[in-house]
Amino acid sequence: MTDQQLIENTIVFVKNTLANAEGGHDWFHIERVYKNAIQIAQGENVNLLIVSLGALLHDIADSKFFNGDETIAPRMASEFLLSLDADSAVIEHVVQIIKNISFKGGNKVQAFKSLELDVVQDADRLDALGAIGIARTFNYGGFKNRKLYDPSIVPKLDMTPEEYKASTAPTINHFYEKLLLLKDKMNTKTGRAIAEKRHQYMEAFLKQFYGEWEGKL
Ligand code: ADP
Ligand code: NI
């Protein structure tokens, strides 16, 4: 099978698997991340097949939606790629990307490093920022029945991965616990430049939000 056929088969598999996914983690999230990843990869010396498969498969079974089980996604991805007879080194690398891409509060040591992971991680982080980032965050908050905002519940910046997962804080807190921290964590030049613009947009959104909350705007 050619690389292109491998990618096309993976697209069909991911679309089917995510048919009923939450609006912020559905096929369109994957499609945006895939496009971001290809764009970022132009400025980096990376293996495009690994970047493509990593981007397409990175949220195939997000542990948030599977009782915290982090073993399902890597297993599904490797079984799927094995069924297509993909190269074992490619499968191993894609599995490492899936296992290590996630933020989880930002206080976790990342066990695996590669340029391909850097690219896919930046591509995924960009989709957490800007107008789409805001939309996804409130959609997830609604999905979890979170409050929009509660001034008496302050953001927590020193959460362990376990606390981060278990948090029931209002959605606005997620801006301080994750979204506004991302621009300083970007891996690539292209990713950082786009993140900077989307960050400014979120800062403006928050200013407007608090202004309206106080009835001042
Ligand atoms: P993680 O933060 O665990 O790595 P994701 O990268 O899958 O999870 O998060 C993707 C997006 O889902 C976030 O950028 C945000 O829009 C939304 N999201 C995740 N956790 C929360 C949360 N606790 N509150 C609001 N939105 C969230
Ligand atoms: Ni993602």
For the segment 160-214, what is each residue's pLDDT rounded down to a tens digit? 888 888 889 999 999 999 999 999 999 999 999 999 999 999 999 999 999 999 9
Q: Which residues contact 175 (CB under 8 A, 6 or more apart)?
A: 137, 155, 202, 206
Q: Tell me how far the alpha carbon of residue 137 lies from the centroid of ligand 1, in angstroms.
A: 6
Average pLDDT on 112-131 reads 98
Average pLDDT, the chain: 95
Give yes or no for residue 24 CB within 6 A of ligand 1: yes
Give yes or no for residue 141 CB within 6 A of ligand 1: yes
Does the pLDDT of residue 105 top 70, yes or no? no
Q: Which residues contact 20 (CB under 8 A, 6 or more apart)?
A: none
Q: Tell me how far the alpha carbon of residue 127 lies from the centroid of ligand 2, in angstroms.
A: 8
Structure tokens at 73: 């996604």
Give yes or no for residue 105 CB within 6 A of ligand 1: no
Does the pLDDT of residue 103 top 90, yes or no? no
**Which of 62, 137, 163, 180 most suits a substitution to test ligand 1, by most atoms within 8 Å of the C-beta?**
137
